[in-house]
Structure 1
Amino acid sequence: MDKESAQKKKRERAVNFTELEIRHLVDVAIKYSKIIENKQTDGAMWKEKDKAWAEIAVEFNAITGGIHRTAKVLRLKYDGIKRGLKQKQTKNKLEVFKTGGGAPNIQPLSDCEEKLLQFMTLSVHGLPAAGGNDSDIILPCNFLYHRGRAPFSKQLEFVEPSAVERKKHTSLGTPQKKRVGKHTLNEKIDSLTDSRKELLQLQTQIAEHEVLQKQEFADMQKKILLDRDQREQLQHDMIMKNLNLQQQLLLDTNERQQKEHDLHVQWMLLKIENEEADLLIKEKQLQ
Structure 2
Amino acid sequence: MSAENKKTDAVTIAHKNEGWKVLTEEFNSLSSFNVRKTDQLRTCWDNLKRTTRKDKVATKKEIFLTGGGRPNHLPPGPLQEQVEILLGPTLDGLANEFDSDGQFQESVTASNKVKEDSTEILPIEYY
Q: Which runs of 5+ in 1 are unaligned?
A: 1-33, 142-287
Preserved contact between residue 3 and residue 86 of structure 2 (Cα < 8 Å):
no
For 1:76, which of 17, 23, 43 is the aligned residue? Answer: 43
Name the structure 2 match of 1:123: 92
Q: Is structure 2 residue 7 aligned with structure 1 residue 52?
A: no
Percent identity of paired positions between Structure 1 and Structure 2: 28
**Secondary structure of the structure 1 residue equivalent to 2:43:** helix
**1:49–1:99 distance in 2 versus 1, CA, 3 Å:** same
Preserved contact between residue 53 and residue 71 of structure 1 (Cα < 8 Å):
yes
Moved beyond 6 Å, runs of 4+: none
**1:59–1:133 distance in 2 versus 1, CA, 3 Å:** closer
Name the structure 2 match of 1:29: none
Higher RCO (C-alpha 8 Å, min separation 6): 2
TM-score in terms of structure 1 length: 0.34
Q: Is structure 2 residue 110 aligned with structure 1 residue 134?
A: no
Q: Look up the equivalent residue of 1:136 and give its one-letter code.
A: Q
Name the structure 1 match of 2:4: 37
Distance 2:70 2:93 in 1: 20
Name the structure 2 match of 1:212: none
**RMSD (CA atoms):** 2.5
Q: Which runs of 5+ in 2 are unaligned?
A: 113-127
- How far residue 134 of structure 1 moved from its aligned partner, in angstroms, is 2.0
**1:97–1:138 distance in 2 versus 1, CA, 3 Å:** same
Question: Aligned residues, how many?
Answer: 106
Map Cα deviations across residues 191-235 of structure 1 (whole Å, 9 max, x no partner): xxxxxxxxxxxxxxxxxxxxxxxxxxxxxxxxxxxxxxxxxxxxx
Q: Look up the equivalent residue of 1:114 and give its one-letter code.
A: E
Distance 1:51 1:133 in 2: 40
Preserved contact between residue 92 and residue 105 of structure 2 (Cα < 8 Å):
no
**Secondary structure of the structure 2 residue equivalent to 1:77:** helix
- How far residue 99 of structure 1 moved from its aligned partner, in angstroms, is 1.5
Name the structure 2 match of 1:107: 74
**Secondary structure of the structure 2 residue equivalent to 1:38:** coil
Higher helix share: 1
Structure with max Cα Rg: 1
Distance 1:35 1:134 in 2: 26
Q: Is structure 2 residue 32 aligned with structure 1 residue 65?
A: yes
Q: Look up the equivalent residue of 1:101 and give its one-letter code.
A: G
Q: Look up the equivalent residue of 1:66 and give its one-letter code.
A: F
Name the structure 2 match of 1:92: 59
- How far residue 136 of structure 1 moved from its aligned partner, in angstroms, is 2.8
TM-score in terms of structure 2 length: 0.71
